[in-house]
């Protein structure tokens, strides 16, 4: 059966991003930060004896830097570990330094660790051209292209040759004398980002006319940290919503391995298939310094303890389990139709994560134009605070078809289950000539499965710490912190492409968007909504992006090792969720792609012959892209996880126990016996590893490297268990080349350089 693998795989020597059938084009590049660092044993400590973590942070910063800064509002205290994560943004001459970040991890009046990418050079005096830009990124890619036959010419043309030529042609035709105009910055960026070559040519030819038809309004806020108002640009062709633009500084590296500041327009550009955070020079709008696409893909290679409110919500019992409905689905843990049969599953929901169930939403947070709810129009229910729905619509997820592949989604089709919430729909794919149409015949099932899997992921990740304060996705946060209004918009059978999936992660308070595609890999075509691993992978982009660098910063995992790990965490957690007590190797995406080896180069395996990936593997041809980088990181995590299972055993469920009637959480067979003043610790290896990985995302800095993420996992164990797994973790990492002596020489922001495997462990592990 394809869902289990034990044999070695054939390597797939093609770049995923270059070969996806989806037509989505994506730009991801930006400056290297040679002075950035992650410190897990700070020598500087707070000079103030204090218990308030924010006082500790201010005292630490007073001793650490003379720079101006502000503490971001998305800082929070982790309910699981008790660590307060304080996010700090640097300011120079009243302007934000967009990549001048510090994250301080504080507990018991002590700074446990910190990440730092503050600028420490002289204040800017001129407007010289930055050394890092779209053009320099493409120059580096050209070198890679010459040395790697697997690099796709079409990919290079789409992200480099044609965009750079369009910007050059437009610059020659640009007769405007106001280079500081944010409209110009936005239009030049669109020339580089737009996927349609004909539209780009039209925009280039009519550049000045397009500028004249674009309008700018300015947002002025009573309070805030911006020295200048935000410009709101309307009328930019290719953008589906007005573009927000504001002037900030960004760091770019110098020839002396330091950084310098450049004034740029920070643009938020939402397009049909992309959502960009882009930085364009404020003095030369033809220079695009950095771009992060908040949308992440999963393409196919070609075949070659509760607070009072929580306890009250948990005990409210608005939707008893027996009346919450039923779903006929491939239940949690079954990866795809070849791994098991569908079954009728009660509409279980975690009482802490989803206290009102999956189909209830507060009236005040329900989007305008929503489906009808139970008792709508009944005057006895007009003042009810909560609305109950009988379709795939609720506080965590809005799921629907999106056959047209558009952004207008509220009125799209959803299955209707009636007042009994009986989601039981037929599945009978048949071969036909209209193979691309066939999945539409079981759209009710597809949307139901997507809704079910997405809610299970929400509830699982919540119990491991991805809650409201840390930036999870919910319409109503129940007053538990964070910004609400951001349930996941989940599109089944999205019509914007084939053989792919993607997830857009804007900052906290804006809806995440998941698009699942049909796969033209078999007859009849297959539906990615039915492969849980792909759905879990995509939703994990939301987890890792919101946790790394804080909920308000979606630009920390854009490219290089950081972007790669964003892919790797998705694969690792999807694989862990489908794993069983009896060990097996697993592929990724094998059912949808109709390939036993899946959509990665190797299956995930502890056998180094079956999967030979080590840190050094990143030097191989084809490993510059984020998906290839990600599978190396996922393999390393899989190996480390098995070390933890060998020591602590395996839990058949990843879900912690439900709270008792008094609101306390029992230890059961899931947690160790509770120690006074200490966090609850999962007792089994697989559950503990999931906790460490998710906790580490909160500890690591923005734009982490493999080394940073490794160190954060080891520190997470120190925070949670007192470091009792220190040597086991190091043994796992070092066995795949990520030991204490591993290093990288000459790396670029998006990859490259020479990686050296290190197999050494800390001295205390040799005693």
Contacts from 122-127 at CB under 8 Å and sequence distance 24+?
A: 123/92, 123/93, 123/261, 124/92, 124/93, 124/249, 124/260, 124/261, 124/262, 124/263, 127/262, 127/263, 127/281, 127/282, 127/283, 127/284
Separation between Cα atoms, residue 504 and residue 275, nearest integer Å? 7
Helices (DSSP H) in 579-725: which residue ranges? Answer: 590-593, 626-648, 685-699, 706-721
Q: Which two tokens stand for residue 38?
A: 């992650």
Q: Which two tokens stand for residue 190?
A: 């669109």
Q: Burial letters for 418-447: b for 16+ Cβ neighbours within 10 Å, e otherwise?
A: eeebebebebebeeeeebeebbebbbbbbb
Question: Burial of 178 by CB count in 10 Å (0-12 exposed, 13-18 middle, 19+ buried)?
Answer: exposed
Q: What sign has the CA pseudo-torsion 515, 520, 522, 525?
A: positive
Three-state SS annotation for 136-151: HHHHHHHHHHHHCCCC
Q: Which of 270, 277, 310, 538 is catalytic?
A: 538
Q: Which two tokens stand for residue 142?
A: 């050209």
Rounded (10°) CA dihedral 285, 290, 295, 301: 110
3-state secondary structure of 519: strand
Q: What letter does residue 578 receive in the DSSP assignment?
A: H
550: left (phi over 0), alpha (psi -120 to 50) or beta: left
User: Do the beta carbons of residue 387 and residue 364 sit within 8 Å?
Assistant: no
User: Do the beta carbons of residue 260 and residue 124 sit within 8 Å?
Assistant: yes
Separation between Cα atoms, residue 732 and residue 724, nearest integer Å? 14
User: Do the beta carbons of residue 471 and residue 547 sit within 8 Å?
Assistant: yes
User: What Rg do the C-alpha atoms of the chain give, in angstroms?
Assistant: 25
Q: ∠699-700-705 over CA atoms, to 5°?
A: 165
CA distances from 83 to 106, 310, 393, 482, 721 (A): 5, 20, 34, 16, 13
Residues 6+ apart with CB under 8 A from 51: 108, 109
3-state secondary structure of 627: helix
- CB neighbours of residue 291 within 10 Å: 27
User: Do the beta carbons of residue 458 and residue 490 sit within 8 Å?
Assistant: no
Return binding residues for Zn(2+). 297, 537, 541, 567
Three-state SS annotation for 85-135: EEEEEEEECCEEEEEEEEEEEEECCEEEEEEECCCCCCCCCCCCCCCCCHH
- 538 catalytic per annotation: yes
Separation between Cα atoms, residue 623 and residue 564, nearest integer Å? 10
Residue 535 phi/psi, 5-degree rounding, is -60, -45
Number of DSSP helices (H) and strands (E) in the chain, helices first: 17, 26
Q: What letter does residue 370 receive in the DSSP assignment?
A: P
Return binding residues. 297, 537, 541, 567
User: Do the beta carbons of residue 517 and residue 446 sit within 8 Å?
Assistant: no
Query: Which residues are part of the catalytic machinery?
Result: 538
């Amino acid at each position: 059966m394809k869902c289990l693998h034990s044999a070695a795989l054939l390597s797939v020597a093609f770049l995923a991003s270059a070969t996806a059938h989806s037509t989505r084009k994506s730009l991801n590049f930006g400056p290297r930060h040679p002075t950035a660092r992650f410190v897990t044993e700070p020598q500087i400590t707070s000079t103030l004896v204090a218990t308030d973590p924010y006082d500790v942070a201010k005292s630490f910063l007073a001793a650490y830097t003379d720079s101006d800064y502000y503490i971001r509002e998305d800082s929070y205290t982790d309910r699981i570990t008790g660590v307060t994560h304080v996010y700090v943004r640097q300011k120079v001459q009243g302007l934000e330094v967009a990549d001048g970040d510090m994250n301080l991890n504080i507990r018991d009046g002590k700074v446990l660790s910190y990440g730092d990418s503050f600028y420490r050079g002289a204040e800017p005096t001129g407007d010289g051209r930055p050394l890092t830009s779209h053009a320099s990124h493409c120059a580096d890619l050209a070198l890679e292209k010459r040395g790697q036959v697997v690099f796709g010419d079409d990919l290079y043309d789409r992200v480099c040759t044609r965009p750079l030529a369009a910007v050059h042609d437009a610059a020659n035709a640009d007769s405007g004398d106001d280079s500081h105009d944010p409209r110009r910055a936005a239009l030049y960026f669109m020339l580089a980002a737009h996927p349609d070559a004909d539209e780009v040519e039209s925009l280039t030819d009519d550049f000045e006319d397009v500028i004249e038809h674009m309008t700018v309004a300015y947002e002025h806020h009573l309070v805030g940290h911006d020295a200048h108002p935000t410009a709101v640009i309307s009328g930019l062709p290719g953008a589906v919503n007005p573009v927000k633009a504001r002037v900030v500084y960004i760091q770019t590296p110098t020839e002396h391995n330091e950084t310098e500041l450049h004034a740029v327009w920070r643009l938020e550009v939402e397009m049909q298939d992309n959502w960009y955070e882009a930085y364009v020079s404020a003095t030369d709008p033809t220079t695009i310094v950095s771009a992060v696409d908040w949308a992440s893909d999963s393409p196919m290679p070609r075949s070659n303890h509760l607070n009072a409110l929580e306890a009250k919500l948990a005990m409210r019992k608005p939707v008893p389990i027996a009346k919450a409905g039923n779903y006929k689905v491939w239940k949690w843990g079954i990866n795809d139709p070849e791994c098991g049969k569908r079954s009728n599953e009660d509409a279980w929901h975690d009482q802490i994560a989803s206290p009102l169930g999956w189909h209830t939403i507060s009236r005040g947070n329900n989007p305008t134009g929503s489906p009808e709810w139970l008792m709508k129009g009944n005057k006895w229910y007009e003042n009810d605070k909560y609305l109950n729905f009988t379709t795939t619509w609720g506080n965590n997820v809005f799921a629907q078809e999106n056959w047209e592949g558009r952004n207008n989604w509220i009125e799209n089709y959803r299955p209707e289950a009636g007042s009994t919430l009986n989601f039981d729909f037929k599945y009978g794919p048949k071969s036909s000539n209209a193979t691309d149409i066939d999945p539409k015949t079981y759209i009710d099932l597809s949307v139901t499965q997507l809704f079910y899997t997405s809610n299970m992921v929400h509830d699982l990740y919540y119990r491991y710490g991805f809650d409201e304060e840390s930036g999870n996705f919910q319409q109503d946060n129940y007053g538990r912190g964070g910004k609400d209004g951001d349930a996941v918009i989940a599109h089944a059978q999205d019509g914007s492409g084939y053989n792919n999936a993607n997830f857009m992660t804007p900052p906290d308070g804006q809806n995440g968007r998941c698009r699942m595609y049909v796969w033209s890999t078999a007859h009849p075509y297959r539906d990615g909504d039915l492969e849980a691993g792909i759905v879990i992978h995509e939703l994990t982009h939301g987890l890792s992006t919101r946790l790394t660098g804080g909920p308000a910063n979606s630009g920390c995992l854009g490219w290089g090792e950081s972007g790669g790990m964003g892919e790797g965490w998705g694969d690792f957690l999807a694989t862990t969720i489908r794993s069983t007590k009896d060990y097996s190797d697993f592929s990724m995406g094998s059912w949808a792609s109709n390939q036993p080896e899946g959509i990665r180069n190797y299956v995930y395996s502890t056998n180094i012959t079956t999967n030979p990936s080590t840190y050094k593997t990143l030097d191989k041809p084809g490993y510059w892209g984020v998906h290839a980088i990600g599978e190396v990181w996922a393999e390393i995590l899989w190996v480390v996880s098995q070390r933890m299972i060998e020591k602590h055993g395996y839990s058949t469920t990843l879900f912690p126990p439900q709270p008792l009637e008094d609101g306390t959480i029992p230890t059961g067979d899931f947690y160790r016996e509770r120690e006074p003043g200490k966090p609850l610790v999962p007792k089994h290896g697989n559950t503990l590893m999931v906790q460490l990985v998710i906790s580490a995302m909160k500890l690591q800095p923005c734009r982490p490297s493999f080394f940073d993420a490794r160190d954060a996992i080891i520190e997470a164990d120190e925070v949670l268990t007192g470091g009792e797994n220190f040597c086991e973790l190091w043994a796992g990492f070092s066995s795949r080349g990520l030991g204490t002596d591993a290093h990288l020489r000459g790396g670029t922001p998006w990859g490259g350089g020479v990686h050296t495997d290190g197999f050494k462990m800390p001295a205390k592990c040799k005693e």
